[in-house]
Structure 1
Amino acid sequence: MSTWDESSRLLSVTKQPQEKEGNDMTPFRRPILFGSLLFIVLLGGFALAFRPHYAKSDPFPSDFLFGAATSAYQIEGATESRGWTVWDTFLRQTPTLDRSNASVACDHYHLMKQDVTLMKDLNLQAYRFSISWSRIMPSGTNETTRQEGLDFYNQLINELLKHNITPFVTLFHWDTPQGLEDRFGGWMDERTVKAFVAYARLAFATWGDRVKHWITINEPWTVAVNGYSTGIHAPGKQDASAPYRVAHNLLRAHAMATHVYRMEFQTQQKGVIGMAHSGDFRYSADDDSAAAERAMLFRFGWFVDPIVFGDYPQVMKERLGHRLPTISNEERILFLSASTDFLGLNYYSSLVASTPAREANYSGYWADIHVDFSSKPEWSQNFMGWSVVPDGLREMLLWIHKRYHGPTIYITENGSCEDELNVDAAIKDEKRRWYVQEHLRACSEAIEEGVNLVGYFLWSLMDNFEWQFGYQRRFGIYYVDFKTLNRTPKSSAVFYRDTIGARGRNLAIATRLKSHRKLADSSRSRRQIPDRVLIGYASHKLESVRHAISQGVNVIMWSFVDFRASFHYSDSSTTPHRRLLNVKNVVPDTTLDLEAVKTFIRELDLEGHGSILHMIAVGGWNGKHLDPLVSAKEWYDAFDTYLGDVFDGIDWDLEGNDDMKSIYNTFTFECLDKMGEISRMAHEDGYVVSIAPPQSYLDIHGSSDFSRAVNLTDKTRQWHNDFTYFGRNVYAYLLQKYGPWIDLVSLQFYESYSRAAMTILEGGVTPAAYLVEFVEELALTNCTFQVNFEQDPHTNLKVTNISLPLSKLVLGFANGWASNAGNKTLFVPSKEISSAWGSLRAKDSLPRGMMFWIIDEEGTNGVNMSHDLGQILAESCETSKC
């Protein structure tokens, strides 16, 4: 029965018998929540996909997910319908504070439909729950499976989808089947890993047609440390080495299950998979950054570094020695190849970290980490004794974003425990309401800073069995009377419902003056020909841009500007004592009015063309390069301060008639490092960073030249590749050293500017054929190629593997032209482009996108090419049924 509380307008429920249902596995797919790919754009020779611009009044993007989370052991009850777990055994040996157990808990097993109704009433878009491993496989192995358990989760998933709630399924949330502990010693043994993989395979096969978001393991840190070092969690072990062995097996379990999903299910089911990590932030005490970083790496880096970098953090290897398992080459390949589609973050609190005066006189994880923790006087504490630090969530997200190069992140848990043992105190949970509000504010600030945060799951939907604390610690936004099992909404539930409905606009969130348009996540499904190609040129042709938009062609504004230093010298010194950065137009016979450009883009935004990006092009045929007398930070700070509200990113365009003797154009490694440092700062602040190689063919065959000696796109223009120093290894160097902060790499396989010249190429083979050849070879090498720097006297690098993921690769084409009474007639090489793109699609080797140069080639008729572009798109979409 459902009753309405008129003050909150949220459903409360009382326990009612649940009708038995059959095994309904009918797929139900809700509309795609991440359908924000949206568009492909040209960046001075680059195509890219980006998240749509959203109004500054919106704290969260339109595709941001709001959800709530629970776990099976804590809410389901119905222990008679599942196998025994290590927690059941542990609680008999080590009773809770109230000497309770989870045999009934919230009785979600029988009240599932009513609970989904509560979720719907909250406006939840997603629900994260875990599968009880022993409810599916009572002994933990696939020797025996229980259909009743499979049926329950089928019904839950279908019920969620029926109400347009996206299921996020966690496979393991601490409740290891006791049978695995008895037979193998649990997570200490490799056989438990194999059992988990078999369990995961069954889950993917059974529910993967409807479940598109998988979490393999919840908080492996908690399992390893609390379960095997301190012993405060099941199975209650206390051992100095066991946590590291357990952690290694948990990582193997994640990687092997992920590998199974990728190889056997992901292509057809089109889901994503990751892991949820415990990740409270650690502030530095008295500039003791080493202690704070050590604490972060011993907790978060312990489990994320191996699947991102292929190894444990160096500080752990140094402090633990032989007690830390060595990651073998086979495991490294497994970890990196399986990797993760997203990172889940469970954040609750923060602490201040400092280095103790001496080493601990005891053994175990907390001695190994060698960090003292404290709180700040201004921080309040909740009923768990945890400091409430909303800003720590923002700092944690920024730390993850920086260390792991901008991964997709979900807040998979965030919530607070308050003192509310009676319903009257619980309903007025103002502290929890404030906690949720301020942590959502921190999320919005992190997004504004460029963090790719795409969802938030509040812990927890309802009060539940809180592990060793029993029922005396409450995290829910629904109060549960554990005698009657009635659910009553708290004030925090009303607030969260309203916040979801308002998309966060009810939050008092200060936004930055600048709001850069950002790249969307890259995925294989998003690497496809767009429904509209974006082409662009320079911002001084505003009317040409507007005309192109009217023809249905999206545009990037690409401004050629000279952004460099101007010096003032004293009479007695040749050293400048004052530096000013000037911005001026460098395109001949044109004018550049950045205020006009800014106004123009704002007008286009209001007209519904918010996908336009404005890039500053540094270098190239018209631009100047970096002044050696201006540091990377000086350049970036000036750019961010004075031009950050005009530009959305930086394009390093290292091409053209560069005077190599000029101090502004010399490509030394100092100059390249400066570009890399600027790229890092820009990327971390949310700008788009791209590099545009000249008309080159990236060499994946080991040559010392990064560009081939001849211009593959037109042998009649061989002079174009007569570069001096910077034609050798420049892009390989940038990608090798600064690749994580470069968002896009454009390969410009230009069709000829002359139809006649195209017939010269090897029996009439067009440049598009070379394009296909390159991408296919790159895909076969797992998106890496080897560059031999040994012949280059300017660097001490040797033979180096360079990574160029398809998710960063953009293929460029240019218009052709034919002479017509002395005038250019522009055309699109439609047949060649369409054929190349179709060939790559057929071999599942699509790059991030395509671009087309340009709106206006020193003339006014470029926009008339939109008809030909439309034909390419129509043919491609017809072929791929897009």
Structure 2
Amino acid sequence: MKITIPENFIIGAASSAWQTEGWVGKKENQDSYLDRWYKNEKFVWHNGYGPAVATNFMEKYQDDVDLMKEIKLTHYRTSINWARFFTDHEQLIVDEDYAQHISDVIDALLAAGVEPMLCLEHYEVPAVLSDKYDGWSSRKVVDLYAGYAKIAFERFGDRVKQWFTFNEPIVPQTRIYLDAMRWPHEQNTQKWLLWNYHKVLASAKAVEIYHELNQGGRIGCVLNPEMVYARSSSEADQKAAAMYDLFFNQIFFTPMIKGIYPQELIDICQAHGVWIETAAEDLATIKENTLDFLGVNQYYPKRVRSPKYAPNAETPFHPEIFYDTFDLPGKQMNNSRGWEIYPQVMYDMALYLKNNYGNIPWLITENGMGRENEEQYQDETGMVQDSYRIDFIRQHLRYLIKAVEEGANCEGYMLWAFTDCVSPMNAFKNRYGLVRIELNEERTRSMKKSGLWYKSIIETRQFEVADEQEYK
């Protein structure tokens, strides 16, 4: 069956500053949280690789832009590394060398016919602000972020017309303070809520500033909601799914899109003694400065069931008292990453946004397939024959376009990632790119089979899928 890609539907790719740039030219006080974590727990990063070299995008960005032009990519999303953007993060003194790099990348993309989309924070909170203010625990950091955003808009807003305030703002504090899986391993649910709140507020402040500057573009945020499926139709299982959605999806969706916090979330957190103090002025800022559009990172479904056991009264409050993860027998898996493959998640998320959030304009800002040991799929010319990635994209894109045909306000699809890149802890273990990165000193680039296929669907605006029945 032939699928036609709608006119003006974005077909792009994404990455981030810290996952590609490397440390060339980085100054002593310009560590981000990720840099500091890597330096403190290098042993948890696969084979010891971290952001130190990454793909060396600082020096090799033109090579990547040339490949984007060859593939005829329409859009590329990356970030400004907040930690590297200043030499003094409180006086907001810009590092002119790094700012020039960002400017040069923007110009190179535009010259290649690729529209840049910039994110202000992709886990790149400056370590100096973590040291002094405990990061997003402090209201001061919200104001410093707002100052940073204004400077970034003023510097680059003449050429960049699509901005994102954060990428996956829920992730760092969930891994650090809710689950205590990442350095510095502090379990503190109230701090988790505080970081969530301060990031919502910071986003609203950036939206306010951007609109005041009237630069003719738009501003959104990249969220990573998980489409939640209950194990069964039972009331208990349905309640478990609703609670997961409340704590991990609505906690950002609702204030950022509707300007208010869900009352049920507030009531539950207050009952468990973890709700945080909020200021009326800040809540007004959140109310009055909702997002223009939304980026959605979508990889896999979340399946839950009602809890099997009563919670331990001595354990700190965690939303998982309301649900257990459900392991669906027979599910299709990407075993390299440990993630379920369920393409219908694209369609279901589209309907979720349409039905619950006013059909806000949005696009998929990340979706992709990480595969371990990809070198085993290289042919005699060295090209990776990643047919599995092509099939993954094809299936997910098919369901996304089906949703668009039924009225979903989805504007496009951006693959994670354009090139292989570093990921937290996994480093280069799982390869995601249309372009392969060799871990040699030169960080040699080479096109994969999927890159050529991606080019073909951009040029023809069509692709083939097997009969629709196979994907239900």
Rounded Cα–Cα distance in structure 2 between residues aligned with 1:166 and 1:300:
29
Q: CA deviation at 1:182?
A: 1.1
* CA-to-aligned-CA distance 1:740-769 (integer Å, 9 cap, x gap): xxxxxxxxxxxxxxxxxxxxxxxxxxxxxx
In structure 2, C-alpha distance between the alignment counterparts of 1:271 and 1:368, rounded to whole Å: 42
Query: Of the candidates 13, 17, 21, which is equivalent to residue 68 of structure 1?
Result: 13
Equivalent position of 1:535 in the other structure: none
Deviation at 1:341, TM superposition (A): 0.6
Partners in 2 of 1:391 and 1:145 — Cα distance?
45
How many percent identity over aligned positions? Answer: 26
Residue 402 of structure 1 aligns with an amino acid whose one-letter code is: N
Given that 1:133 and 1:171 are in contact with CA atoms closer than 8 Å, whether structure 2 keeps it comes out as: yes
Distance 1:167 1:493 in 2: 19
Q: In the TM superposition, what whole-angstrom CA distance separates every residue of 1:381-418 from its partner, at most 9, and x where no partner exists?
A: 34110001110121111111110011101101111111
The structure-2 alpha-carbon separation of the partners of 1:389 and 1:337, relative to structure 1 and needing over 3 Å to count, comes to same
Deviation digits for residues 474-507 of structure 1 (CA, Å, limit 9, x no counterpart) = 2112111011411122222222111111213444
Q: Amino acid of the residue matched to residue 406 of structure 2?
A: E
Whole-angstrom distance in 2 between the partners of 1:204 and 1:190:
22
Q: Does 1:504 align with 2:458?
A: no
CA distances 1:4-53 after superposition (whole Å, capped 9, x unpaired): xxxxxxxxxxxxxxxxxxxxxxxxxxxxxxxxxxxxxxxxxxxxxxxxxx
Q: What are the residue-to-residue correspondences of 1:107-118 with 2, within 5 Å? A: 107-118=56-67
Task: Report deviation, 1:465.
Answer: 1.0
1:360-759, aligned counterparts within 5 Å? Answer: 360-361=311-312, 362-422=315-375, 424-425=377-378, 427-483=384-440, 484-507=442-465
How many equivalent residue pairs? 453
Q: For 1:300 and 1:59, locate their aligned partners in 2 and report how far apart those are by CA, in whole Å.
A: 31
Q: Which ranges of 4 or more aligned residues in structure 1 deviate by more than 6 Å?
A: none
8 Å CA contact retained: 1:116, 1:159:
yes
Q: What does residue 181 of structure 2 align with? A: 232
Does the aligned pair in 1 maintain the 2:259–2:288 contact within 8 Å?
no
**Matched residue type, 2:12:** G
Q: 1:77 aligns with which of 22, 33, 57?
A: 22
Equivalent runs, 1:235-274 vs 2, <5 Å: 236-263=185-212, 265=213, 267=214, 269-274=215-220
Deviation of the 1:319 alpha carbon? 2.6
Q: Does the 8 Å CA contact 1:375/1:387 hold for their aligned counterparts? A: no
Q: What is the TM-score normalised by the length of structure 1?
A: 0.50
Return 5+ residue gaps in structure 1 as ranges. Answer: 1-55, 512-882
Contact 2:231/2:326 (<8 A) preserved = no
Q: Output the CA distance in 2 between the equivalents of 1:378 and 1:423.
A: 25
Aligned AA for 1:188?
S
Native 8 Å contact 2:307 2:321 kept in 1: no
Mean CA deviation greater in 197-206 or 352-361: 352-361
Once the 2 structures are TM-superposed, how far is the Cα of residue 307 of structure 1 from its aligned partner?
Answer: 2.4
- Asked whether the 8 Å contact 2:92–2:147 carries over to 1, the reply is no
1:98 equivalent to 2:55? Answer no
AA partner of residue 112 (structure 2): H
Q: 1:151 and 1:234, CA in 2 relative to 1: closer, same or farther beyond 3 A?
A: farther
Choose 1 or 2 for highest CA Rg: 1
Work out whether residues 142 and 199 of structure 1, in 8 Å CA contact, stay in contact via their aligned partners in 2.
Answer: no
Deviates more, 1:500-509 or 1:198-207: 500-509
Query: Partner amino acid for 1:395?
Result: D
CA distance in 2, matches of 1:372, 1:154: 45
Q: Distance between the aligned counterparts of 1:472 and 1:191, measured in 2?
A: 37
- Report the alpha carbon displacement of residue 280 of structure 1 after superposing the two structures with TM: 2.3
By percentage of residues, which structure has more helix?
2
Alpha-carbon distance in structure 2 between the residues aligned to 1:140 and 1:457: 32
SS of 2:431 mapped into structure 1:
coil
Structure 2: distance between partners of 1:380 and 1:182: 40
Distance 1:252 1:359 in 2: 35
Q: Distance in 2 between matches of 1:243 and 1:470?
A: 25
For residues 713-741 of structure 1, the C-alpha deviation after alignment (integer angstroms, 9 at most, x for no partner) is xxxxxxxxxxxxxxxxxxxxxxxxxxxxx
Gaps of 5+ in 2: none
For the residues of structure 2 that align with 1:235 and 1:125, how far apart are their CA atoms? 39
Provide the rounded CA distance (Å) in 2 between the counterparts of 1:404 and 1:429.
36
* Residue 163 to residue 303, structure 1, CA distance change in 2 (3 Å): same
Residues 185 and 115 from structure 1, CA distance in 2 versus in 1: closer, same or farther, beyond 3 angstroms? same
Contact 1:382 1:416 in 2 (8 A): no
| Distance of 2:140 and 2:304 partners within structure 1 | 37
Q: Which has the higher relative contact order, 1 or 2, with Cα contacts under 8 A spaced 6 or more apart?
A: 2
Tell me the SS of whatever aligns to 2:13.
strand
Name the CA distance, whole Å, in 1 between partners of 2:317 and 2:390.
Answer: 37
Partners of 2:182 and 2:366 in 1: how far apart?
Answer: 19
Does the aligned pair in 1 maintain the 2:371–2:431 contact within 8 Å? yes
Q: Give the SS at the match of 2:59.
A: helix
Deviations 1:791-829 (A, max 9, x none): xxxxxxxxxxxxxxxxxxxxxxxxxxxxxxxxxxxxxxx
Cα deviation, residue 442, structure 1: 1.1
User: Aligned runs of 1:316-331 on 2, under 5 Å?
Assistant: 316-321=265-270, 322-325=273-276, 327-331=278-282
Preserved contact between residue 165 and residue 219 of structure 2 (Cα < 8 Å): yes
Task: Give the superposed CA RMSD.
Answer: 2.1
| 1: CA distance, partners of 2:404 / 2:183 | 37
User: What is residue 718 of structure 1 aligned with on the other side?
Assistant: none
Structure-2 separation of matches of 1:241 and 1:368: 16
Q: Distance in 1 between matches of 2:376 and 2:111?
A: 31
Residue of structure 1 aligned with 2:242, choices 274, 284, 293: 293
